[in-house]
Amino acid sequence: MNNPLLQKFETPFETVPFDLIKEEHFLPALQKAIELGKEEITKIKTNPENPNFYNVCEAMENAGHYVDVVAGVFFNLHGSNTNEKLQAIAKEFSPILTEYSNDITLDVELFSKVKAVYDRKDSLNLNQEEKMLLEKQYKNFARNGALLNDSQKDEMRKIDKELSSLKLQFGDNVLKETNDYLMLIEKKEDLSGLPEGVVEAAAHVAKEKGHEGKWAFTLDYTSYVPFVTYADNRKLREEISRAFGSKAFKNNDHDNQNIVKKIVEFRDQRAKLLGYATHAHFVLEERMAGNPDTVNSFINNMLDHAKPFGNKDVEEVKDFAQRNGFTEEFMGWDFSYWSEKLKMEKYSIDDEVLRPYFKLENCVEGIFKVANLLYGINFRERKDIPTYHEDVKAYEVTDESGLHLSVFYTDFYPRAGKRAGAWMSGFRDQHMSEGKDHRPHVIIVCNFPKPTSNKPSLLSFREVTTLFHEFGHALHGMLSKCKYQSLSGTSVYWDFVELPSQIMENWVTEKECLDLFAVHYETGKKIPPELIEKLKKSSNFQEGYGTLRQLTFASLDMAWHTTTPSEIKEVSEFEKMATEKTRLLPRVEGTSMSCSFSHIFQGGYSSGYYSYKWAEVLDADAFELFKQKGIFNKEVAKKFRDNVLSRGGSEHPMTLFKKFRGHEPSPEALLKRAGLV
C-alpha cells in the first residue's frame, strides 16, 4: 500500500496531507513505523563503539520519527474529528503503541547504554540542554520499569496496556453521553430569558438534527452554559444540569464508575511496583511542586484565603435571589442564573452586553496583533495547506524579517466527532537535526458558537479568555528554539506549562489590548471605555466561588491518587468525602464529577490539576513586570520569550522563571489580583 503517512509530505512546510489520509492507513502505518523504530533502536544497542552521549542519547532522541508522525496525526484526529472507525481503530492503536514504548523502556541492553553515559555525566562536559536530555532519558527508563526484574517488567507491560485501553474507553463514554443528550424545546415561552443569539443557535442545532421549527440544547459548553445562565425556566435548568452532572454515571453501557476505579487501581499498582508510595508521589517527582505534601499544603493555603470569600459570594447571590422572589432550596442550577443577574445589577454588564464586541474573526485578528506587538511575529492564512475539516484554517507564522517560524492551525466550532473543551496540540514539534531547524506545526482546538444564517460567531468574555489562553500555549510551541524535540515547546513540567497560557489571559482586561480588536460587529464602533471599566471592576466578581471550584477539582484529583484503592468502595461516596471541605452548594444525588473528569482520567492531568492554580501564582507574579513597564513593552516581552517561551524544558522551570522575574514566584500578586486579601 502506498501509505501517505510513511512518505515525505510533499506539501507546504511538510504539513500533514490530510486530503490523502484515510482511516485504513493508520494501523498499517503504525506497524511499519514501529518496525523502522525498532531497527533504529537495534542499531544503537549493537553499536560496537563505547557508549557516549551522541551515539546513545542523541541517537535515541532521533529514533522513531515515523511513530511520532503517525501517532501525532491519529490522536489529534481522534480528539477533534473522530468517528466510529477511528474509535474502533483506537482500541487497537493505543495498546500497540504502549507495547512499543514498553519494549524500549524495558530493554535491558538499551538501558545499560544509557546508564553507562549517565554514570559518567559529570565528566562529559555537556551543555545545559544535553544534560537535561540525558537526565530525562535516564529517568524515563527508571520511571518506566528499567530497574525492575523480568516478572515485574511483565506486570508493568500488562498494567500499561490496560491503562491505555481504559483511558480511551473513558473518553469514548463521555463523548457518547454528550452526543446522546438533546433537550428539545417546542414552546417559545420555555426560551424566556435566553439571549437572542442563544435562541438562534438552538434553532440552528435543532434544524441540523432534523427538528426544524424547534430549539435544541446539548451538553456542549456553548449550549449548556448559556442555558443554565439565562433560562428563566428553573425546571429545564435543573434537567440539563442533572444531565450534565450525570454524564457516564447512569449504570448504562457508557458508565465510567468501574473504569475510574480500575484506572486508579492500576495507577496505584504501577507506582508501588516502581517503589513510590502512591501515584501522586510518582507523578509529582517530575513537577515543580515535588510531592503531595507540597500540593496539599498549597491547596489548603489557597482554601484558607478563598473559603470565607467563597461563602460570602454564595450568600450574596442567595440573598439577591430571595430579594427577587426566589423561595426554593438554592441549588447549583440556580447559582449561575442568579449570579449573572446580580452581576448585571452591580456592574450593568453581562456576557450579552459584551458579546457583540467579540466577533470571533476580530478576536483572532486581535491575538495576532498582540503577538505582533509583543514578539514581532506575523500571521498569514494559507489556503494551500491541507486541513482535516472545512472549519479548520491554516496560517504561516513569520518573524519580523519574514523568516518562517511555524504553521498554525485553528479549529473553533463544536461538532459530533469533537470532544468538549479547548486545547492546544501539535502535528510536529520544533527540533534540530542535521543542522536544520524543523519548525513546529501547532493547533488550537476550541468549541465556540457556530455562526448562524444571520449572525456571526460572537464570543462570551469567558470564551475570549479561553482563546487567549490556548493561544498562549500555541506561542510556547511556535516560538520554541531548542535542539531536542522531547525538550522543545510545551515539553515542560505540567505545573509550569500553564504559565505561558495563563499569562496571556491578563491582556484581555486591558484597554490597550481590547482597543485593538473589540469592535461592535454591526456598527464597527470600539468597545466603550466605560464598558471596559465595568469589565475590569467585575473581573473579580465571584472570585472566591471560582477559586473554590478550582480547588474542588484539585482536591478530588489528589484524593483519587493518594488514597489506597481498596479503601474506595463507591465513586459517589468517595467524591463526597474528597470535596467536603471545598463545597459551597448542596450535592446533587445522581451526579458525579469523576465520571466525566477527562483531564485526570483521559488526559495527562492526574495528580496535576492543582497546576492551574499553581500557574496562576506564576502568571500573576510574571504579569506584574508587564504592568510595571507597559503591557506591550518589547524589552519585557523579549525577556519572557528568551527565558520562558523559547526554552521549552531545556532547563529547570524554577531557574527559567527566576531568570525572567529575578525572584521565586510569590502568591501575593495572585491574592491581590483576585481580591482574596
Q: Which residue has the cell 438552538?
A: 202
Helix residue ranges, H only, 47-124: 59-62, 65-80, 84-105, 108-118
Three-class DSSP category at 436: strand
603 and 425 Cβ atoms separated by less than 8 Å:
no
Instruction: Given the residues 129, 470, 510, 616, select the one marked as catalytic.
Output: 470
Q: Kindly report the length of the chain.
A: 677
Three cell numbers written together for 270 = 504501577
Known active-site residue 470: yes
CB 632 within 8 A of CB 641: no
Half-sphere exposure in the Cβ direction for 297 (13 Å, CA) = 6
Query: From start to end of 435-522, where are the E strands?
Result: 436-438, 441-445
Maximum alpha-carbon separation in the chain: 83
Torsion of CA 568, 573, 578, 582, to 10 degrees: 180
CA distances for 272 relative to 151, 152, 261, 488, 670, angstroms: 15, 11, 17, 30, 36
Q: Which residues contact 495 (CB under 8 A, 6 or more apart)?
A: 287, 288, 289, 608, 610, 611, 614, 615, 653
Q: Give the Cα separation of 331 and 592 in Å (integer).
A: 15
For residue 586, give Cα distances in angstroms to 32, 323, 334, 589: 54, 21, 11, 9
Contacts of 544 (CB under 8 A, 6+ apart): 306, 307, 308, 309, 310, 311, 312, 313, 676
Q: Which three cell numbers stand for residue 282?
A: 510518582
CB atoms within 10 A of CB 576: 13
Which of these, 578, 155, 630, lies nearest to 373 by C-alpha position? Answer: 630
Residues 307, 233: Cα–Cα separation, whole Å: 30
Looking at beta carbons, which pairs linking 430-436 to residues 24 or more positions away fall under 8 Å? 430/406, 430/477, 430/480, 430/481, 430/482, 430/485, 430/488, 430/489, 431/482, 431/483, 431/484, 431/485, 431/488, 432/482, 432/483, 432/484, 433/62
Pairing of strands 404-411, 183-185: unpaired
- DSSP assignment of 517-542 equals T-B-TTT-PBPPHHHHHHHHHHTTTT
- Catalytically active residues are 470
